[in-house]
Chains A and B, each alone.
Chain A
Amino acid sequence: MFDEIFAEIPILILLLVIPLVGAVATLFMGGERQKYAKYVAGAFSGVTLVLAILLMFVDNTALLSENYLWIDAANIRISFILEMDGLSLLMVLLTALLVFLVVVFSASESDRPNYFHTLIMAMELGLMGVYLSADYFLFYIMWEVTLIPMYFMISWYGGPRRHYAAIKFFIYTHIASLVMLIGIFAVVFEAAAVNPGVIADFSFAAVNAASGSFGEVFQVLVFGLLFFGFAVKMPAVPFHTWLPDAHVEAPTGGSVLLAGVMLKMGSYGIIRVALNALPDGAIWWAEIILVVALISIVYGAYACIAQTDLKKMVAYSSINHMGMVMLGIAASLLYVKYAASPDASIAQIGIMFAVFQMFAHGLVTAVLFMVCGYTGHALGTREIPLLGGLAGKLPAYATFMMIGFMASLGLPGLVGFWGEFGVIFSFYVAAEAMGMIWLIVFCLLSIMLNAGFYIWAMQRTLFGRETTKIDLSHVHDVSKAEGFALAVLCVIIALFGIWPDFALGYIETFVANFAIPGV
């Protein structure tokens, strides 16, 4: 329906320009005007969200591609390429939705609100750039652009140990991106090297076209570099230690964006960059990816049980859920590696549900962090032992928390179920092909632990006798703005839970054009 209109206007670049203008506009709203910054940010992020939603109705997403030559030296070509397919679409949609809702949720932010919104809009710019770029140079720049606003977000608006958390976040992820940069250099220049006479073209397409001629050893080594860069971002055990610190100290808006969309950059990078550019390397690394995924899943779940801080528990659950994403990727690779005659349509299932799990986790974790953020700032503490019996006093809060927890533990009918279900299904197929069906025990353990710690946490905070350890007399239920943000997310969670095919349809168009390594 919108195909003709979108063929005329450069909508993808608008998705970058609008947040940029929003960031600049809010930056200069100092002094008296700073209380209006939230409306400006709301308007800009709202328009971005509308554009992102309209993009869903473009029938042929492959049409969406914008290509501008950027640097054309004698032996290096760098282009400003934006491209959109089913995978990018879901991530862009998630980014636009969460940024808008974060602006709504953070309406009561009173400490320098203009800079707060500048940082949010700058992050939106970087995230959109990462999910849309189809050129390694642009991809890397946008990857780094997300880093600096998050650093300031944590160190300006965070909790008591914010400086430590911010610098830890910055150092971990910056070193990871430098390793990734070396990997990017390696694939681009190797692509130029295997085809004599070809200049170093940084576009994804040029590298993918040459990837068939990469040597085995090269692929294995460079996949290691790229995988390290992406795995730190996801984060996977043992490179996860920055995450709990960053989350606990970050303000609610920062946590929502960090867990909801920034962690997805890691898994997005693996799928978009590493699997495409280095298929043989991916196959070689399949078992290691599997081990990392299983350790993340089990360790993340166990760590959740041990937490007394509600937000820290949710942070560790992100490690568990992102482990599920990695498991889906590993399942596809292992199936191809071990099945006697791999079938492309079965091999796709793992990647497909890994992407769905990314989307689902983005929605669910946003609810969880908003609930935790509300807990911290309304009750003054997030320590589970100090809470109790809140359901009677705060019914709306209790409802949102229950929906969030249930969705996160994978209750059928909510969005979290389909992600885990699909990933575990694909992993079963892969484990069968490997002849090691017993590996599925780890998944069952994760489901069990997930249900355990969520229900236990819920029981201790919401039900039972009302707590006397903190003063509840002045506590009000969630505000209208907060309730609106949470309600929108809960409706979407239920919607995709009942009708997952809506999202799966986009993922199917993506995986149909996606070359699963080895098939």
Chain B
Amino acid sequence: MVDIDISWIADTFGSITPVLPMVLVIIGALLMPGIHLLLKRKNVTCAVSLAFVVVAAVFNVLLLLGHYTGTYYGLFTYDAFSGLMILLFQAVAFIAILIAGPSSETTRLHVGAFYSLMLIATAGMSFVATASDLLLIFVGVEMVSIPSYAMVAMKKKDPRASEAAVKYIIIGGLSSGLTIYGISMLFGLTGTTNIADIAAALATQGYTAGLVIALATMIAGYGFKIAAAPFHMWAPDVYEGAATPVSLFLATGSKKMGLVVYVKVFFVMFVTIQAAQPFMTESIQYVFAILAAITMTVGNILAIVQGNVKRMLAYSSIAQAGYMLMALAILSDWALTGAIYYMFAHVFMKGGAFVVVAALITAGVGETLKDYRGLAKRAPLLSAIMLLCVFSLAGIPPLAGFTAKFFLFSSAIIPGLGEPVSSQWIWLAFVAILNSAISLYYYAKIVKAMYIEKGESEEKVKVPVAFTVAAVLCVLGVIALGVYPEPFLYYCSQAALAIMP
């Protein structure tokens, strides 16, 4: 669509151009403790780390618009898919850092270390998005996980946070163990850790017990990162216990990283061997379809009974991951396009909701449905933003959630670009639509509390301006992606086509 000249970037940075967005963030992460030590100003540290993310994002957008593709010694590949995913992680980091500055939950933390960890985690996500080798992906995931454990545990005085951190570390360790076990089995079977080479090797091998164990442990291991049911138990506790900016980062960023891994490993692998191993591919497709159906149903049903908004949003994140997993079951370019679109819509709508939650906690309102009563009078703008975000999550037009669900669910009916209608996955679309109907119930409970019920206090809520800015940015994204999807859809389909072998 847009064509701009980016040859100057490649000329200036030479061989590191493909990893440039990642390297800039890592430099920021390394400098951050020092900067905080010298300046000792919390807001300055926050602003500097924000600046690093923005600069990295600007370069990334330029590379994306210039349709840049390149590889760093065969280890990292920058293409339309990884570029778009890096942009997503940068957007998440931007929102999280922007609200971490004024949030009351993060003021007592070790400020320099906190931003440094967040930037390392962001770089790790970009690492995963560009890596083309199973071991590199594993390293990238750990690069995100370990800072995440620390960020959750940083709220030392809060027993809920400590509990959350312990749970998170134990579950995280288990999932890493499972994953590396699966990778080693796969290496034993195929003699390589490069995804493309593994796919080529599997195309000639049939089903073996070792392969089944390898795939099962890897699906489970990364399933923990996505919080797909039945590997979701940790997510509500962690999201509830962590500081809200961290919850936002985990729910919108870390979860997407898990999905990116699924796409890079399983999607690519099985699309490649679909023709050679139809039975194996189809059985894996059904595994993912059932995983998706269970995840969305469990998430939505458990969300209904929650009284804590943060916890409710955590369960809703689980359900949303279920929708996005549909792409793995359908295994087509159009489904992947829809899933990528959904990931971005999810960043804005879930991000907006978490920003409002964080703002209200900082303002001393609280985080339960009871505290939200009568909020529309006390904080009209934040309530309106929350309303738009949860309606978008429920899939009410013309907001981003509806458009994204529309693209994704339609791929269950028309699997591929330019392909005819197929009836194989229509049941999955039915399950998804039914789930959207259920989800409206608990989202409406938030709206009802804010707009219909009367609260005890009438006092106006005052929040720092950074929250308002972050929330407005999110809601603009929700509306833009909902009303005018065409240009962005183009980049999503470019990304999907880039990853198709």
Contacts and interface: CB of A to CB of B under 8 A. Distances in A.
Interface string A187-200: 00110110010011
B417 A193 contact: no
Interface stretch (B31-39, B259-267, B430-438): B430-438
Interface string A423-443: 000000000000000000000
Task: Specify the main secondary structure of chain B where it touches its partner.
Answer: helix
B413 interface: yes
A181 B406 CA distance: 10
B493 A74 contact: yes
Interface centre among B334, B417, B433, B452 (most CB of A within 10 A): B452
A76 B420 CA distance: 12
Given A167-B444, A178-B433, A141 B398 contact: yes
Interface in B400-450: 402, 406-407, 409-410, 413-414, 416-421, 429-430, 433, 436-437, 440-441, 444, 448
A192 B421 contact: yes
B434 to A, nearest CB: 8
B489 interface: yes
Interface stretch (A144-152, A232-240, A251-259): A144-152
Contact of A71 (B417, B429, B486): B486
B451 interface: yes
A189 B398 CA distance: 21
Contacts of B398: 141, 145
A71 B334 CA distance: 14
Given A144-B397, A145-B398, A174 B437 contact: yes
A70 interface: yes
B396 interface: yes
A73 B493 contact: yes
B464 interface: no
B460 to A, nearest CB: 13
A287 to B, nearest CB: 28
B440 A174 contact: yes
A160 B391 CA distance: 26
A171 B394 CA distance: 13
A56 to B, nearest CB: 30
B485 interface: yes
A76 B414 contact: yes
Question: DSSP majority for the A interface?
Answer: helix
A75 B417 contact: yes
Contact of A193 (B410, B418, B421, B440): B421
A171 B440 CA distance: 9
Contacts of A70: 486
Interface core residue of A71, A75, A152 (most chain B CB under 10 Å): A75
A71 B489 contact: yes
A193 B437 contact: no
A71 B414 contact: no
Classify chain A's interface size.
20 to 34
A192 B397 contact: no
B335 to A, nearest CB: 11
A393 interface: no
B421 A182 contact: no
Nearest to A30: B380
A185 interface: yes
A243 B17 CA distance: 63
A140 interface: yes
Interface residues of B, number: 34
A4 interface: no
B421 A145 contact: no
B421 A74 contact: no
A189 B437 contact: no
A358 to B, nearest CB: 25
Contact of A145 (B397, B406, B440): B397
A163 interface: yes
Contacts of A140: 397
A200 B420 CA distance: 9
A302 interface: no
Contacts of B485: 71
Interface string B223-237: 000000000000000
Interface in A140-192: 140-141, 144-145, 148, 152, 155-156, 163, 166-167, 170-171, 174-175, 178, 181-182, 185, 189-190, 192
Interface centre among B398, B429, B430, B436 (most CB of A within 10 A): B398
A182 B431 CA distance: 11
A174 B448 CA distance: 16
A59 interface: no
A471 interface: no
Contacts of B441: 171
Contacts of B417: 73-75
A196 B397 contact: no
A140 B406 CA distance: 12
Contact of B489 (A73, A148, A167, A171): A73
Given A155-B452, A167-B448, A170-B444, A193 B493 contact: no
B413 A189 contact: yes
B430 A185 contact: no
Nearest to B380: A30
A189 B421 contact: yes
A200 to B, nearest CB: 6
Question: A73, A148, A155, A200: which has the most chain B beta carbons within 10 Å?
Answer: A73
Interface in B330-344: 334, 337
A32 interface: no
A171 B444 CA distance: 10
Contacts of B414: 75-76, 189, 192, 200
A170 B406 CA distance: 21
B486 A72 contact: yes
A144 B413 contact: no
Interface string B10-36: 000000000000000000000000000
Contacts of B420: 192-193, 196
A284 to B, nearest CB: 22
B80 to A, nearest CB: 15
A343 B208 CA distance: 69
Interface in A323-356: none
A187 B396 CA distance: 21
A147 to B, nearest CB: 8
B433 A148 contact: no
B306 to A, nearest CB: 18
B493 A185 contact: no
Nearest to A192: B421
Contact of B433 (A75, A182, A199): A182
A167 B440 CA distance: 11
B396 A144 contact: yes
Contacts of B440: 174
A376 to B, nearest CB: 21
Contacts of A166: 452
Nearest to B417: A74
A175 B439 CA distance: 12
A169 B430 CA distance: 23
B215 to A, nearest CB: 30
A171 B441 CA distance: 8
Going nearest first, the 6 A-B pairs with the smallest beta carbon separation are: A193-B421, A141-B397, A74-B417, A189-B413, A189-B421, A155-B452
9 contacts: A71-B485, A72-B486, A75-B414, A75-B419, A144-B396, A145-B397, A166-B452, A170-B444, A193-B421
Interface of B: 334, 337, 391, 396-398, 402, 406-407, 409-410, 413-414, 416-421, 429-430, 433, 436-437, 440-441, 444, 448, 451-452, 485-486, 489, 493
Given A145-B398, A171-B441, A200-B410, 13 more contacts: A72-B486, A73-B337, A74-B334, A75-B417, A155-B451, A163-B448, A167-B448, A178-B436, A185-B409, A189-B413, A189-B414, A189-B421, A192-B421
